[in-house]
Amino acid sequence: MKAEIISVGSSLLKGLVENKNAAFIARELTSVGINVTQAVMIDNSKEKLLETIEKAEQQADVLVFTGGLGPDDDDIVKTTLSEHLDKPLVLDDDTQNRIITYHKNSDLIMPKNNQLQALTLLDSIPLVNVTGLALGMFYQSDTHTYILLPGPTDELKPMFTEKAWPLIIEHLLNGQVVSTKLVRLFGLTMAQAQRNLGDILVSDDTTFIEIFPAGLEIEVQITARGLDADEVHQLIAKAESEIEKSVAPYIIGYGDQNLPNIVRKLLKEKELKITGAESLTGGAFLSELSSLFEAGLFFDGGMVTYDESIKKEVLGVDEEVIETHGVVSAECAFEMAEKALEAFGADLAVSLTGAAGPSSLEGEIPGTVWIGVAVKEKSTFAKKFHFGYKRNQNREYSVWSAFNLIRQVLLDEEIESIIYKEKVKKDE
Amino acid sequence: MKAEIISVGSSLLKGLVENKNAAFIARELTSVGINVTQAVMIDNSKEKLLETIEKAEQQADVLVFTGGLGPDDDDIVKTTLSEHLDKPLVLDDDTQNRIITYHKNSDLIMPKNNQLQALTLLDSIPLVNVTGLALGMFYQSDTHTYILLPGPTDELKPMFTEKAWPLIIEHLLNGQVVSTKLVRLFGLTMAQAQRNLGDILVSDDTTFIEIFPAGLEIEVQITARGLDADEVHQLIAKAESEIEKSVAPYIIGYGDQNLPNIVRKLLKEKELKITGAESLTGGAFLSELSSLFEAGLFFDGGMVTYDESIKKEVLGVDEEVIETHGVVSAECAFEMAEKALEAFGADLAVSLTGAAGPSSLEGEIPGTVWIGVAVKEKSTFAKKFHFGYKRNQNREYSVWSAFNLIRQVLLDEEIESIIYKEKVKKDE
């Protein structure tokens, strides 16, 4: 089955907004074997839209439209499609009532053509817009399927996932059972993941496995189709076990929760508080922590000790440690984490110190970073990383690596290549 | 003049990457009156590409290609275009040498078809890739212009700006003088900017004015075309003065430097050091500061005092102040800024305290934020803001508003609705 995505809007062609919708829809459709053969962005011109629809009908079975559902004169998708299919538009009363109520409550002037937003093709299935006003639509002719979605991404995504997706499965996949699972990876590049997973990424009729970058993490997406839940469950389990064989050391979790959210959940469950003392990352770790939902449950505060003087005079790192070992050292990382643990009364403390770049620091090449962890009444350790030469990239990798270390500590996982404070002391 | 953008790559149609290139190119071309009438994403299929080229030639004068210039078998743009135009490909020696050297130095295996990356059409102008390997191309037939750019955005952007842009001006705009100026705004929404600027945004043949969102800021882009530099200079000055009349209170600067970078420049010039004590923003302000180029020149460190206990016990905010006025207060903001100024030995300190949301704090609705500023040996003041109900959006607005306050302080601008510490004391 083939699909084409048609995005309508002059703002796209003037470069005012990026077309994030096409990538989102393409990923979802591809995962169930519907191949997107073309995605096109066009202006709000009726003539152009008609021409694009006619062409798309020759090449694809499913036409997905984004944008052009609003109340303005140039929101022409519904009227053009109605004309093209010779099918009248009818008013969806629920949506019309919602639109009237919305404008009443918000003191906004209701656009003259607001009815446009509440129209849907006769015999179509209207798609309710839970985060906006314009109604979407799912319509099947004898030959083609037409899915109309709104332009704003925060309206399009929930409408697609909650309203359109079940209809796609029911009508286009003959009601097969479809299920998706994400395996999350951290610590390798897309190219490495591609190599490690190799043959697993070849998809067949029943199982689709593809990898997607998700910030610094990688999502391995497994989608399975089958006649019943059992079959699908088994297909996913099989794929999962193959993935685990290939990339076990890099798996950080399952589902759509990223590393900070995984750590958040563990901290909340264990009722632990965390703090941090940051040098090269300058607050990025603390900022990420505090942005999490219910941050107050596990976070009280922390310190940014960018300059050496602040490490010593405000945080209280032993001057001798810095003089002997420098700030890019396990010893400095130990001290920073322990002093932060104490000052902020936490159960866990992270420290980040290193050479962010672009220049070297204490003879260490840019990208050399020590991350320290102090666990209250347990242990203090540090791990050395080499990231790269790009300053802001180093900062990001450092923050994510810190979250990963904390995740491993909270799960009692064995962590490779770490140096314990006690060990160093004994060796001295 | 009309242009069409053709993006080639299966990763686009599988949703692995978003097509950021189209928006970038569309913005640039639109600014000089070249209308982008369509942007299309297609697979790496030769047949499909040929069909797309033929169709585009019927509708547009300029065809801009992105992607498909790499060394793989499916990188078909150059060979397909060569076949279509019946024009042979020739090897660009400089690029070929760069490719060989690159692979030698990096120990990477050179792809078999690496030559593909160094090919260009006979009689074309090659576009050097300064951040990657694949050569771009600018070619004019009797009827059309073909611009070939690489897929990775960090290769495409510099190639477009540095190499393709001068050729576009020379060959497509008859060597007119083209100049662009950005006026940066902060503190109003896109809809407000649109309203305030109103008629100014109507473009004519010589001047193009459009607004673009740039994070929380807005860029008003003026592009003028004319026969000589003087004429263009005058056109830009005229547009600028109209813009200034309409949105003067919101102008934060000119050019591509955002608020943190504007503050960075001012701090560096004045040789001042800055610090911060953050509550609801939890390190986001400090993180932004420390991410700036040469941050060590003006930043030593700061503190995240998320919980009340940390404000009192670690930062040293007077307990009585918090008991009397609460943490969402001017008085708490004064104290936090002054204590941070002292502890971190800075010339300027910012404090951020408020109700991030989703819940209210001390009876203040989510989005109520006090930002304090302490200037060494000068004054301490605070300003109250109401942002909104979305937690992470509040944090972003708070950070940007703090940078704006600091900008105003550093420029000795008058700041509306601020409360000075002395004034409060006298009134008590």
pLDDT of residue B73: 83
Indicate whether B105 and B211 sit together in one domain.
Answer: no
Contact B30 A14 (CB under 8 A): yes
pLDDT, greater one: A84 or A359:
A84
| Band of pLDDT at residue A105, cut at 50, 70 and 90 | confident
| Nearest-CB residue to B344 (from A12, A314, A344) | A314
| Spatial CB neighbours of A211, under 8 Å, sequence gap ≥ 6 | A190, A193, A194, A197, A201, A218, A219, A220, A221
Q: Closest to A14 (Cβ–Cβ): which among B14, B27, B278? A: B27
Chain B residues within an 8 Å CB radius of A24? 15
CA neighbours closer than 13 Å in the CB half-sphere of residue B295: 29
Please tell me whether residue B185 adopts helix, strand or coil conformation.
strand
Q: What is the mean pLDDT of chain A?
A: 93
Stated length of chain A: 428
Looking at the complex, report in whole angstroms how far the Cα of residue B428 sits from the nearest Cα belonging to chain A: 32
| CB contact (8 A) between residue B301 and residue A291 | no
Confidence tier at A124 by pLDDT (50, 70, 90): very high
Closest CA to B352 of A290, A392, A312: A290
Q: Running along chain B, 428 residues long, what does each successive block of 10 average in pLDDT?
A: 96 91 95 94 95 97 96 91 97 90 77 85 96 95 97 96 96 92 95 90 86 95 93 96 95 96 98 98 97 96 97 96 95 98 98 86 87 97 88 90 98 95 66
Task: Tell me which residue in B287, B314, B344 faces A287 most closely, judged by beta carbons.
Answer: B287
Q: Which ipTM did the prediction report?
A: 0.91
User: Cβ–Cβ of A310/B304 closer than 8 Å?
Assistant: no
**Number of CB atoms found within 10 A of residue B209's CB:** 22
Name the pairing type of β-strands A274-278 and A348-354: parallel
- Edge-to-edge strand ranges of the sheet holding B418-420: A418-420, A380-386, A368-375, A348-354, A274-278, A301-305, B301-305, B274-278, B348-354, B368-375, B380-386, B418-420
**H or E stretch at B42:** strand B35-42
Across the interface, do A301 and B301 touch by the CB < 8 Å criterion?
no
Q: Among B201, B223, B286, B298, which would you mutate to test the A interface (most chain A Cβ atoms within 10 Å of its Cβ)? A: B286
Same-domain status, A286 and A232: no
Q: Are A284 and A197 in the same domain?
A: no
Q: Do B293 and B405 have their domain in common? A: yes
> For B282, which of A24, A291, A344 is closest by C-beta distance?
A291
**What's the CATH number where B145 sits?**
3.40.980.10
- The CATH number of the domain holding residue A379 is 3.90.950.20
In sequence order, the β-bridge partners of residue A382 are A372, A419
Q: Specify whether A371 is located in the same domain as A415.
A: yes
CB contact under 8 A, B23 and A40: no
How far is A63 from chain B, CA to nearest CA, in Å?
Answer: 14
Nearest to B306 among A12, A36, A290 (CB): A290
**B286-324 b/e with 16+ CB inside 10 Å = b?**
bbbbbbbeebeebbbbbbbbbbbebbbbbbbbeeebbee
Domain end, chosen from B221, B254, B287, is at B254
Residue B415 C-alpha, separation from nearest chain A C-alpha, in angstroms: 28
What pLDDT is stored for residue A62 in this prediction? 98
Q: Are residues A289 and A250 in the same domain?
A: no
pLDDT at position B360:
80
Residues facing residue B66 across a β-bridge? B7, B149
The one-letter amino acid code at B282 reads G
B93 CB-contact burial (10 Å; exposed 0-12 / middle 13-18 / buried 19+): exposed
Tell me, yes or no, whether A157 and A188 share the same domain. no
Q: Which residues from chain B sit within 8 angstroms of residue A346, using beta carbons?
A: none
Q: How far apart are CA B131 and CA A329, in angstroms?
A: 33
- Output Rg (C-alpha) for chain A, integer angstroms: 27
Of B239, B254, B269, which residue sits at a domain end?
A: B254
Q: Given a cut of 70, is residue A428 above it in pLDDT?
A: no
Cβ separation of B290 and A305 shorter than 8 Å? no
Contact predicate A345/B314, CB 8 Å: no
More confident position, A363 or A180: A180
Same domain, B95 and B188: no
For residue range A189-223, what is the model confidence (pLDDT) as tens digits? 998 999 999 888 877 888 999 999 999 999 999 99
Place of tokens 């001057």: A319
pLDDT digits 0-9 by tens, A180-189: 999 999 999 9
Token pair 């396990």: residue: A330
Q: C-alpha dihedral over B218, B260, B31, B225, to 10 degrees?
A: 120
What CA–CA distance (Å, rounded) separates A233 from A231? 5
Out of A18, A307, A343, the one facing B296 most closely (by C-beta) is A307
Contact B15 A27 (CB under 8 A): yes
- Residue B339 CA to residue A399 CA, distance in Å, equals 27
Q: Which residues of A touch B345 (CB under 8 A)?
A: 309
**Whole-angstrom Cα distance, residue A76 to residue A85?**
14
Burial class of residue A188 (count of CB atoms within 10 Å of its CB; 0-12, 13-18, 19+): middle
Mean pLDDT across the stretch A302-322?
97
Quick one: how far is CA B128 from the chain centroid? 24
Number of other CB atoms surrounding residue B425 within 10 Å: 10
pLDDT for A329-353, tens place per residue?
999 999 999 999 999 999 999 999 9
CA distance B90 to chain A (A): 30
Cβ atoms within 10 Å of A149's Cβ, excluding its own: 31
> CA A240, A241, A246: angle at the middle one, nearest 5?
95
CB contact under 8 Å between A286 and B290, yes or no, is no
Using alpha carbons only, what angle is made at residue A62 by residues A59 and A65, rounded to the nearest 5 degrees? 105
Hey, which residues does B361 pair with through a beta bridge? Answer: B364
| Among B365, B345, B341, residue whose Cα is nearest residue B421 | B341
Q: Provide, as residue numbers in chain B, all residues whose Cβ is less than 8 Å from the Cβ of A51.
A: none
Residues ≥6 apart with Cβ < 8 Å to A153: A20, A21, A24
Q: What per-residue confidence (pLDDT) applies to B423?
A: 64
Which 8-state DSSP code applies to residue B328? S
In contact, A220 and A211? CB cutoff 8 Å: yes
Report CB contact under 8 Å: B16, A27: yes
Select from B282, B287, B302 the Cβ nearest to the Cβ of A295.
Answer: B282
> Which residues in chain A are contacts of B25 at CB distance < 8 A?
15
Say whether both A191 and A144 belong to one domain. no
Q: Are A180 and A222 in contact (CB under 8 A)?
A: yes
CA nearest to B225, candidates B397, B74, B32, B55: B32
Cβ-Cβ contacts under 8 Å, B305 against chain A: 301
Chain A CA closest to residue B346: A310
Min mean pLDDT across A244-248, A396-400, B74-78, B199-203 is at B199-203
Taking CB atoms and an 8 Å cutoff, what residues of chain B touch A27?
14-16
Please state the separation of Cα A184 from the chain's center in Å.
Answer: 11
Q: Is the pLDDT of residue A423 over 90?
A: no
Backbone angles phi, psi at A207, to 5 degrees: -125, 135
Contact B306, A296 (CB under 8 A): yes
CB pair distance less than 8 Å for A304 and B296:
no
CB pairs under 8 A between A and B: 216
CA distance B228 to B299: 44
Chain-chain contact of A295 with B306 (C-beta, under 8 angstroms): yes
Residues of B in contact with A62 (CB under 8 A): none
Q: Residue B212's closest chain A neighbor by CA?
A: A16
Q: Do B145 and B283 belong together in one domain? A: no
pLDDT of residue B169: 94
Reported for A138-141, long-range contacts at CB under 8 A and 24+ positions apart, including other chains, are A138/A163, A138/A164, A138/A167, A138/A171, A139/A81, A139/A85, A139/A87, A140/A171, A141/A85
Its domain, for residue B243, covers 177-254
Dig out the tokens for B95 from the structure: 């690029």
CA angle A20, A21, A22 (to 5 degrees): 95
Token output for B290: 């420390």
pLDDT value, residue B159:
98
Neighbours of B328 (CB within 10 A): 22
In what side-by-side order are the strands of the sheet with B62-66? Answer: A125-127, A136-140, A145-149, A62-66, A2-8, A35-42, B35-42, B2-8, B62-66, B145-149, B136-140, B125-127
Rounded distance, CA B104 to CA B96, Å?
A: 12
Distance between CA B392 and CA A291 in Å, rounded? 7
- To the nearest whole angstrom, how far is the Cα of A134 from the nearest Cα of chain B? 19
For B215, which residue in chain A has the nearest alpha carbon? A17
Nearest CA-CA distance, residue A215 and chain B, Å: 12
- Three-state SS for chain A is CEEEEEEECHHHHCCCCCEHHHHHHHHHHHHCCCEEEEEEEECCCHHHHHHHHHHHHHHCCEEEEECCCCCCCCCCHHHHHHHHHCCCEEECHHHHHHHHHHHHHHCCCCCCCHHHHHEEECCCEEECCCCCCCCEEEEECCCCEEEEECCCHHHHHHHHHHHHHHHHHHHHCCCCEEEEEEEEECCCCHHHHHHHHHHHHCCCCCEEEEEEEECCEEEEEEEEEECCHHHHHHHHHHHHHHHHHHHHHHEEEECCCCHHHHHHHHHHHHCCCEEEEECCCCCHHHHHHHCCCCHHHCECEEEEECCHHHHHHHHCCCHHHHHHHCCCCHHHHHHHHHHHHHHCCCCEEEEEEECCCCCCECCECCCEEEEEEEECCCCEEEEEEECCCCHHHHHHHHHHHHHHHHHHHHCCCCCCCEEEHHHHHHHC
What single letter denotes the amino acid at residue B30? T
Across A42-51, A276-285, B62-71, B202-211, least confident range: B202-211
Q: Is the dihedral of CA A233, A239, A241, A243 positive or negative?
A: negative
* Cα A235 to chain centroid, rounded: 25
Of A230, A254, A278, which one is at a domain's C-terminal end? Answer: A254
Which pLDDT belongs to residue B424?
64
Q: Is B86 helix (H, G, I), strand (E, B) or coil?
A: coil
Nearest CB to A24; choose among B15, B30, B296: B15
Count of structural domains within chain A = 3
For residue A288, give the amino acid letter: E
Residues B273 and B419 in one domain: yes
A54-70 CB burial, b ≥16 within 10 A, e <16? ebbbeebbbbbbbbbbb
The pLDDT-based confidence of A125 (bands split at 50, 70, 90) is very high
Q: How far is A292 from chain B (nearest CA, A)?
A: 9
Q: Quick one: B238 and B329 in the same domain?
A: no
Chain A residues whose CB is inside 8 A of the B12 CB are 22-23, 26, 39
